[in-house]
């Protein structure tokens, strides 16, 4: 069964600090991996999309890494801001012909304190 596990479940950091969120997956056959930010009461917003051949991708203060061999990804947030407080969701897309098969993690809830 395809699974995506995220850690930690929740994280509290001080404004200005860096943090790293983890994602481990067992999804096959792998197509791509995405990180989303979901503010409370809103839909997820895409941060990065990474294919098999990409090891790292940045989007402003967000940097995602992918190790397809160990099936691990991380999302690093630099110089955190209060507005970074949200749930961060890792999604892995399986390739199966023309079908779209996403497996979502449960998310990491990040709280940034002033």
Residues making contact with another protein (CB under 8 A): 4, 31-32, 41-46, 49, 51, 89, 91, 93, 95, 98-102, 104-107
Long-range interactions of 84-87: CB distance < 8 A, separation 24+: 84/110, 84/112, 85/110, 85/111, 85/112, 86/37, 86/38, 86/39, 86/40, 86/110, 87/37, 87/38, 87/39, 87/40
Shortest gap between Cβ of 42 and another protein (angstroms)? 5
- Of residues 18 and 55, the one with the C-beta less far from another protein: 55
Give the nearer residue to another protein in terms of CB position, either 31 or 63: 31
Nearer to another protein, 13 or 49 (CB): 49
Nearer to another protein by Cβ, of 56 and 96: the residue is: 96
In the complex, what is the shortest distance from the CB of residue 94 to another protein, in angstroms, rounded to a whole number?
Answer: 9
Report the nearest approach of another protein to the CB of residue 114 (Å): 25
DSSP secondary structure of 7-73: E-SEEEEETT--EEEEEEEE-SSEEEEEEEEE-TTS--EEEEEEETT-SEEEETTEEEEEETTTTEE
Min dist CB 4 to another protein, Å, is 8
């Amino acid at each position: 069964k395809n699974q995506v596990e995220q850690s930690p479940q929740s994280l509290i950091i001080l404004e200005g600090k860096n943090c790293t969120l983890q994602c481990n997956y067992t999804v096959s056959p792998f197509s791509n991996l995405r990180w989303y930010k979901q503010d409370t009461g809103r839909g997820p917003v895409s941060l990065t999309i990474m294919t098999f051949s990409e090891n790292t991708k940045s989007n402003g203060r967000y940097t995602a890494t992918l190790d397809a061999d160990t099936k691990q990804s991380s999302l690093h947030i630099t110089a955190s801001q209060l507005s970074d407080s949200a749930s961060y969701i890792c999604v892995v897309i399986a390739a199966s012909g023309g079908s779209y098969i996403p497996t979502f993690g449960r998310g990491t809830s990040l709280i940034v304190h002033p």
